[in-house]
Amino acid sequence: MALTVSEFERAYKEEVLQLFAESWQTASLDQQFAALASLVKRYSASDWSQTKQAVDHNNEKQIYYFSIEFLPGRMLATNLLNLGILTTVERAFKEMGLNFKRVLGMEVDPGLGNGGLGRLASSFLDAMASIGINGNGNGLRYQTGLFKQDFLNGYQVELPDDWLRNGYVWETRKIERAVVVRFGGEVNLLPSADGRLLAQYRHTENVLAVPYDIPQIGYRNGHVNTMRLWQAEPPAMGQPLTVAQREEISAISQSLYPDDSTEAGRRLRLRQEYFLVSAGLQSIVRHYRKTHQDFTQFAQTVAVHINDTHPAMAIPELMRLLLDEVRLDWDSAWAITVQVMSYTNHTLLQEALETWSIDLFAPLLPRIYQIIQEIDHRFRSAYHDADPALIDSIAPLGHNMVRMAYLAVWGSHAVNGVAALHTRLLEESVLSGWYQLVPERFSNQTNGITLRRWVQLANRPLAKLLDKTIGSDWRRSPLAIEALQPFADQPKFLHKLAAAKLKNKRSLAAYVKRTVGLSIATDAMFDVQIKRLHAYKRQLLHLLRIIDQYQTLKAGLAGGPKYVHIFAAKAAPGYYYAKEIIKAINATADLINHDPEVNQQLQVAFLPNYSVSLAERIIAAADVSEQISLAGKEASGTSNMKLMATGAVTLATMDGANIEIYDAVGAANMMTFGLSSEQVLQHQRNFDYSARDLFERDPRIHRIVSALIDGTIPGIEVEGQDIYQSLIQYNDEYFVLADLKAYLDAGARLDELYLRPEAWGKMVVANLAASGRFSSDLTVAGYARDIWHVTPENQVNRH
């Protein structure tokens, strides 16, 4: 939009006055934020309304992205950037003598997700709006988000995230769009006038689903989509409810499950999933009926995407609506459902594949269970010629359980993995039976990231340098950043690049000092591992390398570059082992940071409360990106992409999207090591891996691992012993010791490169130049083309 600095200033001052009866000079930071956000809402309102009108008017297809998690991050800067008024507003704030950065910092960061999956959902919403697709989010308005993490004596403590305390400026409650979601009770199928059975419900628990809409503004294209979050409330009318009944209802959208792998088996979790799905689909069907006579156009105008299996009940729920409410016959309803639905898988961990026991499921969702039984029955009949053992092993209903992934594949026309290796492994193992049956449904859609957030906003020094060097095309066309490649050989440019990095390091160092009281050296190599804490992600491997560095320094054998190791990671509250790793890292950090013999060369900072906002600070300052999961375990990873896109070099195993980063930057510009997923599989099959052998035969490994139990690291008597046992006694499930030597060697090679600034700069440039292909704009364009069958208004090309 077009807006001059003085126009904006006038509008802003008026907004402060109208909202708070306060002059702009005396407004608090909170008030400044509220006024600015309120103006942004005003600026985007007509585009929002027009986008919605155009959809109905032109009968355009809408994508609904169903996800139990979203991690949008702070929205003010993004919204200003996407409206095209960020620099205008910045200038105005400067002119008024106000601190724009601090105003941005007043916004809450909604923690409505655990990690990668939730963040991906939000980056897709941003991308859909930005490439001009009608794509809406459908999620839950959790009253409390993911816990806030603090450390007490090195142990993780969890504090509630009361993110709505001061209201959420971007949302609008839409009570007139509320729908009723029913749980439990009894269903009877009674003959009805149309000669078919009609499902009649009795004694159900009725829950009011109230939507809250949040605008998702596209990048300078006037396109504004909607993220809709549902809140559970007791219905205003009907049976009076007891306090306990009301609480059971509110509990549905009360809090996010703080686990990113398994929490299955919980009744409340199942209620959340059905609530999300039923509310979303009822509102879609209701809206469709306003503009259409019959359902012949439904599959052409509606696509529902299922983000992992958590919303997979969308399949039986849409069947229920089409059968019971619209009164279609089974075959027509099923044909529509399959055309509408598509499903993304996000995990290869067997234990993370969602299943529900029928004992829990059937009484809570009796009609949905009936429909799943019928789906299962018809699936088995459709393949009565096929190998019965195969069919039995992949049918939606297994022994006393509903298998959500199998239901999702059978009820969708498209299934995808999130990185090339992940998709291949899905086809070969996790979903191999399904791949045999319906190979045409499978495709790969490698994850992507919002470069606007991670580069344009979170790394301003780099963004400015890019503009000066190659012009600003990269801001709109991600692949245009390839033009940077020739500058890899220009020392003058490399100098400026290093200067930009140093600036970011100084900002991060100031933050670290402010928050944890540690002064980190900004002339050190910043080696970063930021992600959820999981055994398979192997933060332990990183810790063992730090112990090795410590022991080397203590032995007086210096020589490498200065290091600052930076961690950020939350552990699921019930994940005991992950919490022990956190304690071990914190204890090691304490030891190292306080030892004057080493702390000039080596420091460790574990920053509490990892979140989107903290990621923005860390990523811009990173030199090294640790992506060291056991090969075959990390579906994709996305911090690997964020870090390479802002000038870090990757130290990685050949896992998830690391492989595609390797393909993009070439062997010379990334440091890879360790077992391949095939080698891991082979060891597992042959039972020929012995961690104890390695420990006993390799003196260096022996020395490093022994530090966990010999008192070297004070304060981890229990944790050190447990971790040691997991490695030696229980044979190191995640092959940490198997990869340790290769990891240390790779680290040493990286050290040598870091000590040669030109060699290092060259690698950084190669990474930056190759980063465009990981833009989520391109990823979403792939989904649009292969899965949703819609054409973006704005052209984005992958090749």
Work out whether strand 414-417 and strand 442-444 pair parallel, antiparallel, or are unpaired: parallel
Residue 774, amino acid: F
Active site residue 173: no
Instruction: Tell me, residue by residue from 354 to 393, as one string, x for binding to ligand 26Q by CB under 6 A and - for no binding.
Output: x---------------------------------------
Interface with ligand 26Q includes 342 (CB under 6 A)? no
* Token digits of residue 383: 């393949």
CA separation for the pair 334, 318 (Å, rounded):
9
Per-residue buried b or exposed e for 400-425, using 16+ beta carbons within 10 Å of the residue's own CB:
ebbbbbbbbbbbbbbbbbbbbbbbeb
Q: How far is the CB of 43 from ligand 26Q (least distance, A)?
A: 32
What interhelical angle do 29-57 and 5-20 show, nearest 10?
110
Active site residue 346: yes
CA separation for the pair 619, 628 (Å, rounded):
17
Active-site hit among 441, 452, 531, 565: 531
Active-site hit among 346, 403, 545, 773: 346
Instruction: Tell me, residue by residue from 721 to 740, as one string, x for binding to ligand 26Q by CB under 6 A and - for no binding.
Output: --------------------
Q: How far is the CB of 232 from ligand 26Q (least distance, A)?
A: 17
Name which of 113 and 761 has its Cβ closer to ligand 26Q: 113
Whose tokens are 């359902």? That residue is 295
Note whether 295 and 328 are within 8 A (CB). Answer: yes
User: CB count, 10 Å around CB of 161?
Assistant: 25
Tell me which stretch binds ligand 26Q (CB under 6 A): 77-85, 111-119, 147-155, 756-764: 111-119
Which strands make up the sheet holding 401-403, listed edge to edge? 355-357, 401-403, 397-398
The residues that bridge with 215 in the sheet, in sequence order, are 226
Tell me which stretch binds ligand 26Q (CB under 6 A): 260-268, 736-744, 748-756, 762-770: 260-268
Phi then psi dihedrals of residue 414, to 5 deg: -145, 140
The residues that bridge with 191 in the sheet, in sequence order, are 197
Note whether 179 and 275 are within 8 A (CB). Answer: no
Which among 677, 675, 684 has a CA at the least distance from the CA of 736? 675
Interface with ligand 26Q includes 269 (CB under 6 A)? yes
CA separation for the pair 645, 638 (Å, rounded):
11
Among 72, 637, 761, 782, binds ligand 26Q (CB under 6 A): 637
Name which of 182 and 269 has its Cβ closer to ligand 26Q: 269
Element (H, E) at 209: strand 205-217
Active site residue 503: no
Name which of 261 and 599 has its Cβ closer to ligand 26Q: 261
Phi then psi dihedrals of residue 444, to 5 deg: -105, 140
DSSP per-residue codes, 544-591? HHHHHHHHHHHTT---S--EEEEEE----TT-HHHHHHHHHHHHHHHH
Q: How far is the CB of 260 from ligand 26Q (least distance, A)?
A: 4
Interface with ligand 26Q includes 117 (CB under 6 A)? yes
Name which of 355 and 373 has its Cβ closer to ligand 26Q: 355
- How far from 68 is each of 112, 148, 414, 532, 737, CA to CA, in Å? 9, 19, 20, 18, 36
Active site residue 531: yes
H-type helices in 413-490, by residue range? 420-425, 432-437, 451, 460-470
Active-site hit among 537, 538, 545, 570: 537
Name which of 475 and 633 has its Cβ closer to ligand 26Q: 633
Among 129, 276, 318, 418, binds ligand 26Q (CB under 6 A): 418
Note whether 72 and 212 are within 8 A (CB). Answer: no
Among 257, 724, 743, 783, binds ligand 26Q (CB under 6 A): 257
Note whether 760 and 754 are within 8 A (CB). Answer: yes
Helix, strand or coil for residue 312? coil
Active-site hit among 226, 522, 638, 653: 638
Among 260, 527, 626, 777, binds ligand 26Q (CB under 6 A): 260
Among 32, 44, 62, 114, binds ligand 26Q (CB under 6 A): 114
Among 281, 635, 736, 766, binds ligand 26Q (CB under 6 A): 635
CA separation for the pair 734, 674 (Å, rounded):
12
Name which of 132 and 145 has its Cβ closer to ligand 26Q: 145
CA separation for the pair 146, 92 (Å, rounded):
35
The residues that bridge with 212 in the sheet, in sequence order, are 173, 229
Residue 198, amino acid: L
Tell me which stretch binds ligand 26Q (CB under 6 A): 58-66, 233-241, 261-269, 616-624: 261-269
Among 109, 161, 248, 259, binds ligand 26Q (CB under 6 A): 259
**Which residues lie closer than 8 Å to 391 by C-beta, 6 or more apart?**
379, 380, 383
Q: How far is the CB of 730 from ligand 26Q (least distance, A)?
A: 23
Note whether 132 and 793 are within 8 A (CB). Answer: yes
Residues from 462 through 521 that contact ligand 26Q (CB under 6 A)? none
- How far from 522 is each of 543, 623, 724, 747, CA to CA, in Å? 21, 11, 34, 20
Element (H, E) at 280: helix 267-291
Interface with ligand 26Q includes 116 (CB under 6 A)? yes
Interface with ligand 26Q includes 610 (CB under 6 A)? no
Please identify the residue of the shown chain whose CB is closest to the bound ligand 26Q: 116
Tell me which stretch binds ligand 26Q (CB under 6 A): 110-118, 129-137, 219-227, 298-306: 110-118
Active-site hit among 496, 642, 762, 773: 642
**Which residues lie closer than 8 Å to 748 by C-beta, 6 or more apart?**
560
Tell me which stretch binds ligand 26Q (CB under 6 A): 158-166, 257-265, 683-691, 756-764: 257-265
CA separation for the pair 341, 415 (Å, rounded):
9
Q: How far is the CB of 142 from ligand 26Q (least distance, A)?
A: 13
Half-sphere exposure of 582 (CA within 13 A, CB side): 29
Q: How far is the CB of 272 from ligand 26Q (least distance, A)?
A: 9
Interface with ligand 26Q includes 460 (CB under 6 A)? no
Q: How far is the CB of 619 from ligand 26Q (least distance, A)?
A: 15
Interface with ligand 26Q includes 256 (CB under 6 A)? no
Name which of 13 and 269 has its Cβ closer to ligand 26Q: 269
Tell me which stretch binds ligand 26Q (CB under 6 A): 458-466, 493-501, 592-600, 631-639: 631-639
Active-site hit among 61, 422, 532, 538: 532
Among 145, 280, 656, 674, binds ligand 26Q (CB under 6 A): 656
Which among 565, 485, 478 has a CA at the least distance from the CA of 525? 565
Interface with ligand 26Q includes 634 (CB under 6 A)? yes
Interface with ligand 26Q includes 134 (CB under 6 A)? no
CA separation for the pair 406, 438 (Å, rounded):
12
Among 36, 85, 125, 264, binds ligand 26Q (CB under 6 A): 264
Among 50, 261, 477, 593, binds ligand 26Q (CB under 6 A): 261
Name which of 635 and 784 has its Cβ closer to ligand 26Q: 635
Among 156, 638, 646, 775, binds ligand 26Q (CB under 6 A): 638
Residue 688, amino acid: D
Name which of 259 and 427 has its Cβ closer to ligand 26Q: 259
Counting residues that bind ligand 26Q (by CB under 6 A) gives: 23
Name which of 396 and 637 has its Cβ closer to ligand 26Q: 637
Whose tokens are 């375990």? That residue is 633
Residues from 36 through 55 that contact ligand 26Q (CB under 6 A)? none
Residues from 680 through 719 that contact ligand 26Q (CB under 6 A)? none
Name which of 213 and 259 has its Cβ closer to ligand 26Q: 259
Phi then psi dihedrals of residue 112, to 5 deg: -90, 30
Tell me which residues touch ligand 26Q (CB under 6 A). Answer: 114-117, 120, 257, 259-261, 263-264, 269, 346-347, 354, 418, 447, 634-638, 656
Tell me the catalytic residues.
346, 531-532, 537, 638, 642
